[in-house]
């Protein structure tokens, strides 16, 4: 049985990589990365450190390939309070060239508001800091390591036994420095999840509803003049609905492997912010200190 479960874990990884025709992204300026991460938040360890690798492709005519190396940590500073951070090193390459560099840093504070034997209520407040380059060698946003704006992120998550419900909001920051001078709209996220506990495996499917609350706004490159003019990008405020699945395999009390993948039911047609992926697959390891 143990060997069967280990084999199933790697089948999931291969299955993830094979999704080359699905747009599986979470918008994700960061709202999907704050709150709702049961694999980390349910742990009672004092410190969790994770390292992971993600590969993806834009799947469009530009055919941009993405490699991302992500370092993350969750530190429980008090019994009901934790600090979470993550920062990627991103590599993008396509027909227009290649760019690599540090991405945007995400830091959040997570506070447990209520818990009993069956249910918990948690709140998270975070920021996405523009630590990544957003106008490297004057290429489109799909090539850039960062989004170029400082955003605020809020999340509220409730769980009852293995069922989880959550809502998140990302307040988009300033216009970035890319040549299109992008100003993104805010994002609203509604999340529903369920934890399946199978021996050393935890499988958590999540249904994500992501609504861009305003159109992306960019400089009007067709108008030349002494002052800049801006236009809204049509269809850049559409809704996404994704099925995200996280899988964790606990090796022992200190180490675990994890992966995740997503399948869209409804995808956003326009992603001027460069976040569209035709597929993405990730695999990582987590180290816990009790």
Q: What is the pLDDT of residues 169-207, one digit of tens each?
A: 999 999 999 999 999 999 999 999 999 999 899 999 999
pLDDT at 263: 75
Q: 148 is written with which tokens?
A: 């170029």
Cα–Cα distance measured from residue 16 to residue 154, given in angstroms and rounded to the nearest whole number: 29
SS3 176: coil
Query: Does residue 36 surpass a pLDDT of 50?
Result: yes
Rg of the chain over all Cα atoms, to the nearest angstrom:
19
- Residue 63's pLDDT band (boundaries 50, 70, 90)? confident
- Residue with tokens 């199978």, as numbered in its chain: 198
Taking residues 65-77, what's their average pLDDT? 94
- Per mean pLDDT, which range of 157-161, 176-180, 256-260, 280-284 is the poorest? 280-284
Question: 201-212 and 187-194: which strand pairing?
Answer: antiparallel
Query: Does residue 11 surpass a pLDDT of 50?
Result: no
Question: 105-115 and 81-94: which strand pairing?
Answer: antiparallel
Question: 163-171 and 187-194: which strand pairing?
Answer: antiparallel
Cα–Cα distance measured from residue 47 to residue 51, given in angstroms and rounded to the nearest whole number: 14
- Give the list of residues 6+ apart from residue 136 with CB closer than 8 angstroms, or none: 99, 101, 143, 144, 145
- Per mean pLDDT, which range of 123-132, 245-254, 263-272 is the poorest? 263-272
What's the whole-model pTM score? 0.85
Query: Does residue 142 surpass a pLDDT of 60?
Result: yes
DSSP class of 183: B
Cα–Cα distance measured from residue 36 to residue 33, given in angstroms and rounded to the nearest whole number: 8
Question: 230-232 and 217-219: which strand pairing?
Answer: antiparallel
Inter-residue contact 216 to 238 (CB < 8 Å) = no
- Residue 29's pLDDT band (boundaries 50, 70, 90)? low
Q: 202 is written with which tokens?
A: 């935890």
Share of the chain above pLDDT 90, in %: 60
Half-sphere exposure (CA, 13 Å, Cβ side) for 248? 21
Inter-residue contact 79 to 113 (CB < 8 Å) = no
- Per mean pLDDT, which range of 62-66, 171-175, 214-218, 232-236 is the poorest? 62-66
pLDDT at 243: 83
- Per mean pLDDT, which range of 2-6, 93-97, 148-152, 164-168 is the poorest? 2-6
Which CATH superfamily, name and number, covers 2-289?
monomeric porin ompg (2.40.160.40)
Mean pLDDT of all residues in the chain?
Answer: 84
- Out of 54-63, 112-121, 236-245, give the one with best mean pLDDT: 112-121
């Amino acid at each position: 049985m143990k060997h069967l479960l280990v084999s199933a874990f790697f089948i999931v990884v291969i299955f993830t990589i094979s999704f080359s025709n699905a747009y599986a992204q979470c918008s994700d300026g960061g709202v999907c990365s704050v709150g709702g991460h049961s694999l980390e938040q349910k742990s009672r360890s004092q410190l969790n450190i994770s390292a992971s690798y993600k590969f993806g492709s834009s799947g469009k005519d530009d055919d941009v390939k993405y490699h991302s190396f992500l370092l993350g940590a969750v530190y429980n500073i008090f019994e009901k309070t934790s600090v979470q951070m993550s920062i990627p090193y991103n590599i993008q390459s396509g027909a227009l060239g290649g760019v690599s560099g540090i991405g945007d840093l995400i830091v959040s504070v997570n506070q447990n508001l209520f818990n009993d034997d069956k249910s918990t209520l948690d709140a998270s407040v975070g920021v996405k800091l523009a630590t990544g380059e957003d106008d490297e060698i004057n290429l489109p946003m799909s090539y850039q390591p960062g989004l170029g704006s400082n955003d605020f992120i809020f999340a509220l998550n409730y769980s009852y036994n293995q069922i989880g419900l959550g809502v998140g909001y990302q307040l988009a920051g300033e216009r970035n420095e890319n040549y299109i001078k992008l100003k993104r709209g805010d994002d609203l996220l509604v999340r529903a999840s369920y934890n399946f506990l199978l021996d050393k495996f935890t499988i958590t499917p999540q249904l994500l509803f992501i609504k861009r609350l305003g159109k992306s706004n960019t400089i009007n490159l067709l108008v030349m003049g002494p002052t800049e003019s801006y236009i809204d990008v049509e269809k850049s405020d559409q809704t996404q609905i994704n099925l995200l699945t996280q899988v964790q395999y606990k090796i022992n009390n200190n180490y675990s492997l994890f992966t995740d993948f997503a399948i869209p039911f409804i995808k956003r047609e326009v992603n001027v912010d460069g976040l569209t992926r035709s597929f993405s697959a990730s695999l990582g390891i987590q180290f816990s200190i009790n």
